[in-house]
Chain A
Amino acid sequence: TQLLEQSPQFLSIQEGENLTVYCNSSSVFSSLQWYRQEPGEGPVLLVTVVTGGEVKKLKRLTFQFGDARKDSSLHITAAQPGDTGLYLCAELTSGTYKYIFGTGTRLKVLA
């Protein structure tokens, strides 16, 4: 079974700071998704990356897919309290229908 490791596990920062979280795999991703889960809710998709080296931006969030498609990062610029949540990376495994999720990074942004 593919393992997705995320780091750091926990992150607590002040409003306005920048941060980066990482997702690494033991093998090559077919495609990678990032989700955010707010307390009391299910995860919600932020972005899907498919091509090695791909960079996608979603307002203050920048997602990067490694050239070798074995790692990905999420960078948040000028974090806001509304960014607080659990960030999960997930792979849609090639040739199957199922999603494998990482261990998650729990982010808390303090006002």
Chain B
Amino acid sequence: DVKVTQSSRYLVKRTGEKVFLECVQDMDHENMFWYRQDPGLGLRLIYFSYDVKMKEKGDIPEGYSVSREKKERFSLILESASTNQTSMYLCASSSTGAEAFFGQGTRLTVV
């Protein structure tokens, strides 16, 4: 069974903390994505990667960075968490031109 696994389902962090969200896929996909999902706004793309060590900004990259050192792992980093980054974060992977497979999401609360 194909899988995208996000390291945490729920996370509570303090303002100013550095936060790491981890995502691992077992499908040997070249593309990986980080989205955030907020009510009424749908899924908004933060960053994506089409190869190891490659990354491109999505629509809302401010306040975030990413790391892809291995093909199967894509990490999202909040350098200094703020309350407006409280959201559901979804990781996805795909083979180019095919469907996107999503993880179960991480609900992050910044207090």
Instruction: Point out residues on A near B: beta carbons under 8 Å.
Output: 1, 4, 6, 9, 33, 35, 40-45, 48, 88, 90, 92, 97-104
Q: B90 near A: Cβ within 8 Å?
A: yes
* A92-B92 Cα distance, complex, nearest whole Å: 13
Known: A97-B48, A98-B48, A98-B58. A88 touches B103 (CB 8 A): no
Instruction: Point out residues on B near A: beta carbons under 8 Å.
Output: 4, 31, 33, 35, 40-45, 48, 50, 56, 58-59, 90, 92, 94, 96-97, 99-105
- The reply to whether A41 and B104 form a contact with Cβ atoms under 8 Å apart is yes
* A33-B99 Cα distance, complex, nearest whole Å: 8
- The reply to whether A88 and B43 form a contact with Cβ atoms under 8 Å apart is yes
Q: Of all chain B residues, which has the CB nearest A44?
A: B102
Q: Which residues of A contact B104 (CB under 8 A)?
A: 40-42
- The reply to whether A103 and B99 form a contact with Cβ atoms under 8 Å apart is no
* A46-B110 Cα distance, complex, nearest whole Å: 33
28 contacts between A and B (CB under 8 A): A1-B59, A33-B99, A33-B100, A40-B104, A41-B104, A41-B105, A42-B4, A42-B92, A42-B101, A42-B102, A43-B43, A43-B102, A44-B102, A48-B99, A88-B43, A90-B100, A97-B48, A97-B50, A98-B45, A98-B56, A99-B33, A99-B45, A99-B92, A100-B45, A101-B42, A103-B40, A103-B41, A104-B42
